Amino acid sequence: MTLSSVIRLRSSVKPYLILALGVLAVSSSSFLITFALQDGMPAVAIAALRLTMAAIALAPIALARSRDELRRLAPRDLALAMVSGVFLAFHFAFWISSLDYTSVMSSIGLVSTNPLFVALASVVLLRESLQRGTVVGIAVAAIGGALVGLTDLGHASAGSLQGDALALGGAVMVSGYLLIGRRLRGRLSLMAYISLVYSTAAMVLLATAWAMGISLLGYSPAAYGLVILLAAGPQLIGHSSYNWALKYLSATFVTVTILAEPIGATAFAIPILGQVPEPIKLAGGALILIGIYLAAREEIATDDGRRRTDANALPSSVLRPPSE
């Protein structure tokens, strides 16, 4: 193997390795959040402090490396980045709140339904038609979600259903965040993009905490330590890895890969939190993952077909002499 082929192989593999690192980092967030909640810190405070710490850590680096890029930023791109930050803020507000009411597996399984919402957004907003595999995937995931919801309804209080609804709200919000990220990362560097998104999300969450009368002070050192770990690991390493990969991989593929997060989170939750899922909930979670996989596989196949069609059409359009 020549040196050039080794370099090409490393370049092609790197996005997948970075994405895998991100999934591993984000998988730890659910038990860190659960411990912080048990220590008395409200969900909105956790989300606000997590994003604020991440934004503060990034600020000097962004100013040093991306000052000129940020200064030349088109107003439309700035607006989109800020909207992405709003989506991220409410994703965390909804999802972290869900862990106050339902189990890690229910919360992570439902918040990971975001590829389905991406597909639905394509129909409603982009007027695209759904492929058969996508429809089947949505149906299978819906059955899985119903099993999870019915389990929570039959064995717990109505609060569990509230947690499930919050997790689904988090899935809707993160879908918008990933869709905008895919669009902007082709034009913006990673540092410029995440510094804008994280700082916007932090400001939205700080304003939300103020409006709700939630204090960010007075909690235990352990709670603040857990939030620092959340900012350093799941946020700066995990979400930043997702955003880095979005420049090189499709948003659909990234969302499919994030499906490994429920597996990692549940693996952490069983020994650390003692949350052993019931068999019917495991079946529901498996159906959710299968449904998302089927829908995303169809989406990837469709995208690959479009790219091949465009590639085949390119030579004739490029080489055709101009008409006079």
Flag whether 251 is in a domain: yes
Residue 310 CB contacts under 8 Å (≥ 6 apart), including other chains: none
pTM of the predicted protein model: 0.77
Flag whether 100 is in a domain: yes
pLDDT category, 319, cuts 50, 70, 90? Answer: very low
282 vs 299: CA distance, rounded Å: 26
Contact indicator for 251, 178 with CB cutoff of 8 Å: yes
Report the pLDDT value the prediction gives residue 139, as an integer from 0 to 100.
78
Reported as a single tens digit per residue, the pLDDT across 199-252 is 999 999 999 999 999 999 999 999 999 999 999 999 999 988 988 888 877 666
Question: How does 281-309 read in b/e, with b if 16+ C-beta sit within 10 Å?
Answer: bbbbbebbbbbbbbbbebbeeeeeeeeee
Report the pLDDT value the prediction gives residue 294, as an integer from 0 to 100.
79
Flag whether 2 is in a domain: no
Flag whether 324 is in a domain: no
Flag whether 12 is in a domain: no
Reported as a single tens digit per residue, the pLDDT across 104-127 is 777 877 787 777 787 777 677 766
Report the pLDDT value the prediction gives residue 18, as an integer from 0 to 100.
87
316 vs 311: CA distance, rounded Å: 10
> Residue 210: how many CB atoms within 10 A of its CB?
13
Flag whether 4 is in a domain: no
Contact indicator for 188, 243 with CB cutoff of 8 Å: no
Task: Work out how many domains the chain is built from and give that number.
Answer: 1
Higher pLDDT pick, 17 / 259: 17
DSSP string, 74-85: -HHHHHHHHHHH
34 vs 226: CA distance, rounded Å: 10
What rounded mean pLDDT belongs to the chain? 80
Flag whether 320 is in a domain: no
Higher pLDDT pick, 45 / 271: 45
Higher pLDDT pick, 27 / 255: 27
Q: What is the mean pLDDT of residues 148-155?
A: 60
Q: Is the pLDDT of residue 324 over 50?
A: no
Flag whether 27 is in a domain: yes
Q: Give me the domain span that covers residue 40.
A: 22-314
